[in-house]
């Protein structure tokens, strides 16, 4: 079985109005090359589910988004994502603002085929006031009320990994796989971009096999895009691109997103990488210190 | 244990905030921001070595990391993996104490990190989002650090967006008690407080040197409990200042309170 496809073929599998889950966390290991391919497409009216960063900001700024399901959208060292902020303050998108852990439970419910998972998270807060679709229920086992966190069923998951084989065994080599396993499992179709496609024998080493967080039957497509997380990090391959994020944030004040895409996006990933200094430059970006 | 005479307000706040973690025992101490992180680290390195801490990424540490860029030969003291997904397992096990700085705090101890003004559909100012606040606030102990104590933070009325549960009877979930909420300490540039006043009213526990109770009252947008004979927040010891300097070699603490004032004003 060979699940390898091109970035264009990957994005062709997404349709208007779909719910798309995006892996990574803030400025960390986002499938940005796939996001850029969406920016180049005619897709619209997407619902995005993410521990969000510039992926969410860019998709909002380019008018691809109808709704965002989020707990935060942040670039970390720049706490507020500039284009998400603009979209929110313009009232341009629908939102479902939830807690980080509620998002995890919603993804788990979807992964496990459950309509909801009960939790106390969200009680007493405006999460419930503003999201009438999130119900509070009585328990058959105690006298408390519980939030019934609904399943966050995804049509498509987009994830960036370090390595994958052609059959969809995916390795996340960095220190954290974040919630990517649940995003992959919550989706009807999971598309994984990776730094490198490797031979299956790569995973014979048990230390590498332990860096695989979902079985290959969950992965529907593999797209080899070295540097494909830029400008987010892909630890240990490279860090996030601080000057690039500053330039990106700068365009929100001056020039707008059109100025950003004009300068950087290009007609293909090869063109994008040329414009940001090339693949070697991406791979030389130092890892951040916290 | 010699009390220092020359220290900054930030250092006083770090030491006062460290006290919040004194009785926690074996819990994950999460300090978000420079002052809370240094406070948790100081507590772990001195009077509560049982505390647990992460590297803000994916590992638990047996020894807190210094802040900022570290020497090339630095080796952090990993003790286990603690990726973001496992953090939720810890949160829901309740063995955690988080300290952070919300944008608004109301008289119920409800806080706001999400948005200011406008509506849910179109806020006037979009901030971080609810992040993990709803879950933190109902699952485990929390404390707040406020670098500028004023009526824009301690607001009159309810928060524009309630990101975390507080001691608000009107929002109390069925089957819960207000005592389930545990907002432990509120440390500001003026004083240390808790919600131990009548009916969980915000209460002054100590005033920083040179600060009066009236000053706190004027800078708080709602009525607070001012007991008799409020003590002065204890000065850091020389030993504590040395440990703080070691944890913060690039002096990031000098940029946390406007103009980095001295501790004694």
pLDDT in tens, A138-189: 999 999 999 999 999 999 999 999 999 999 999 999 999 999 999 999 999 9
- Is A258 found in the same domain as A178? yes
Q: Is residue B1 included in any domain, yes or no?
A: no
- Which CATH number do you get for residue A224? 3.40.1080.10
Give the integer Cα–Cα distance in Å for B124 and B144.
24
Could you tell me which residues are beta bridge partners of residue A94? A67
Task: Give the distance from residue B163's alpha carbon to the nearest chain A alpha carbon, in angstroms.
Answer: 6
Give residue-wise pLDDT tens across range B11-47. Answer: 999 999 999 999 999 999 999 999 999 999 999 999 9
Distance CA A57, CA A78 (A): 13
Which residue from A123, A126, A290 is facing B138, i.e. has the nearest CB? A123
Q: B139: pLDDT confidence band, cut at 50, 70 and 90?
A: very high
Percent of chain A whose pLDDT exceeds 70: 100
Q: Is residue A179 part of a domain?
A: yes
Residue B128 touches chain A, beta carbons under 8 Å = yes
Selecting from A124, A127, A177 the residue whose C-beta is nearest the C-beta of B173 gives A124
Q: Do A125 and B162 touch (CB under 8 A)?
A: yes
pLDDT for the residue A78: 94
- Mean pLDDT calculated for residue range A233-253: 97
- pLDDT tens for B186-212 read 999 999 999 999 999 999 999 999 999
Q: Does B264 reside within a domain?
A: no
Within 8 A of B127 by CB-CB distance, chain A residues are 80
Q: Would you say A257 and A62 are in contact if contact means Cβ atoms under 8 Å apart?
A: yes
Minimal Cβ distance to B85: which of A91, A97, A104: A104
Same domain, A42 and A169: yes
Angle at B124 between CA B119 and CA B128, to 5 degrees: 95
Asked whether residue A50 falls in the same domain as residue A79, the answer is yes
Which residues in chain B have their CB less than 8 angstroms from residue A122's CB? 134-135
> How many domains does one find in chain B?
1
Looking at the structure, tell me whether residues A169 and A83 fall in a common domain. Answer: yes
Neighboring chain A residues of B128 at a CB cutoff of 8 Å: 72, 74, 79-80
Whether residues A132 and A158 share a domain: the answer is: no
The answer on A62 and A29 residing in a single domain is yes
Gap between the Cα atoms of A18 and A29, Å rounded: 22
Q: Please tell me the predicted confidence (pLDDT) of residue A68.
A: 98
Contacts of A94 in chain B (CB under 8 A): 121
Set of chain B residues whose Cβ sits within 8 Å of the Cβ of A67 = none
Q: Are residues A169 and A44 in the same domain?
A: yes
With a cut of 90, say whether residue B232 has pLDDT above it. Answer: yes
CB atoms closer than 10 angstroms to residue A225 = 23
Tell me: the pLDDT tens digits for A178-219?
999 999 999 999 999 999 999 999 999 999 999 999 999 999
What domain range includes position A130? 116-150
> A109 lies in a domain?
no
The verdict on residue A289 lying in a domain is no
8 Å CB contact between A27 and A242:
no
CATH number at B54 reads 3.40.1080.10
CB B99 within 8 A of CB B39: yes
Do both A70 and A123 map to the same domain? Answer: no
Asked if A11 and A136 sit in the same domain, the reply is no
A120, A221: one domain: no
* Residue B89 pLDDT exceeds 90: yes
> Is ipTM strictly over 0.85?
yes
The predicted structure's pLDDT at residue A261: 98
Residue B126 contacts A, CB cutoff 8 Å: yes
**Number of structural domains in chain A:** 2
**Range of B18's domain?**
9-255
Determine, for residues A179 and B118 on separate chains, whether the beta-carbon distance falls below 8 Å.
no
| Closest of A147, A146, A145 to residue B174, by C-alpha | A145
A241 shares a domain with A141: no
Considering the domain boundaries, does residue A212 fall inside one? yes
Which has the minimum average pLDDT: A6-15, B1-10, B41-50, B185-194?
A: B1-10
B171 touches chain A (CB under 8 A): yes
pLDDT at residue B116, as a whole number: 97
A123, A218: one domain? no
Predicted local distance difference test score (pLDDT) of residue B1: 73
Average pLDDT, chain A: 97
């Amino acid at each position: 079985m060979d699940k390898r496809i091109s970035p264009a073929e990957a994005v062709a599998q997404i349709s208007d109005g779909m719910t798309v889950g995006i892996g990574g966390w803030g400025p960390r290991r986002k499938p940005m090359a796939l996001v850029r391919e969406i920016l180049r497409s005619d897709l619209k009216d997407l619902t995005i589910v993410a521990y969000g960063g510039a992926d969410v900001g860019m998709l909002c700024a380019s008018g691809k988004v109808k709704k965002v399901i989020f707990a935060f959208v942040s670039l970390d060292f720049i706490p507020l994502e500039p284009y998400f902020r603009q979209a929110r303050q313009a009232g341009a998108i629908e939102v479902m603002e939830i807690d980080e852990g509620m998002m995890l439970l919603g993804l788990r419910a979807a992964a496990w085929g459950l309509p909801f998972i009960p939790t106390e998270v969200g009680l007493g807060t405006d999460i419930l006031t503003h999201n009438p679709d999130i119900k509070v229920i009585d328990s058959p086992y105690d006298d408390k009320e519980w939030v019934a966190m609904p399943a966050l069923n995804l049509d498509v998951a987009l994830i960036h990994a370090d390595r994958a084989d052609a059959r969809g065994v995916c390795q996340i080599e960095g220190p954290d796989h974040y919630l990517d396993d649940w995003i992959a499992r919550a989706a009807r179709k999971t598309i994984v971009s990776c730094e490198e496609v490797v031979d299956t024998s790569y995973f014979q080493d048990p230390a590498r096999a332990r860096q695989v967080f979902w079985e290959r039957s969950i992965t529907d497509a593999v797209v080899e895009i070295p540097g494909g997380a830029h400008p987010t990090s892909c630890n240990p391959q490279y860090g996030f691109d601080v000057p690039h994020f500053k330039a990106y944030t700068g365009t929100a004040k001056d020039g707008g997103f059109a100025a950003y895409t004009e300068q950087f996006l290009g007609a293909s990933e090869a063109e994008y990488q040329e414009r940001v200094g090339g693949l070697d430059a991406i791979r030389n970006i130092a890892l951040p210190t916290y | 244990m010699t009390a220092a005479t020359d220290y900054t307000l930030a250092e006083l706040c770090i030491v006062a905030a460290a006290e919040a973690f004194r009785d926690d025992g074996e819990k994950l101490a999460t300090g978000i921001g420079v002052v809370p992180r240094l406070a948790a680290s100081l507590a772990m390195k001195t009077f509560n070595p049982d505390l647990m801490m992460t590297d803000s990424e994916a590992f638990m540490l047996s020894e807190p990391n210094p802040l900022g860029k570290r020497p090339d030969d630095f080796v952090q003291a990993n003790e286990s993996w603690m990726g973001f997904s496992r953090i939720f397992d810890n949160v829901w096990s309740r063995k955690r104490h988080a300290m952070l700085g919300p944008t608004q705090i109301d008289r119920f101890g409800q806080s706001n990190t999400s948005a200011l003004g406008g509506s849910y559909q179109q806020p006037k100012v979009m901030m971080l989002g609810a992040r993990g606040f709803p879950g933190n606030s109902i699952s485990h102990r929390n404390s707040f650090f406020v670098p500028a104590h004023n009526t824009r933070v301690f607001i009159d009325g309810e928060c524009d967006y309630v990101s975390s549960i507080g001691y608000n009877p009107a929002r109390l979930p069925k089957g819960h008690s207000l005592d389930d909420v545990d907002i432990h300490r509120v440390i500001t540039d003026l004083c240390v407080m808790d919600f131990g006043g009548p009916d969980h009213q915000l209460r002054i526990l100590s005033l920083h040197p040179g600060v009066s109770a009236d000053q706190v009252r004027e800078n708080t947008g709602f009525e607070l409990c001012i007991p008799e004979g409020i003590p002065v927040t204890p000065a850091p010891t020389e030993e504590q200042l040395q440990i703080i300097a070691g944890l913060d070699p690039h002096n990031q603490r000098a940029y946390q309170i406007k103009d980095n004032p001295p501790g004694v004003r």
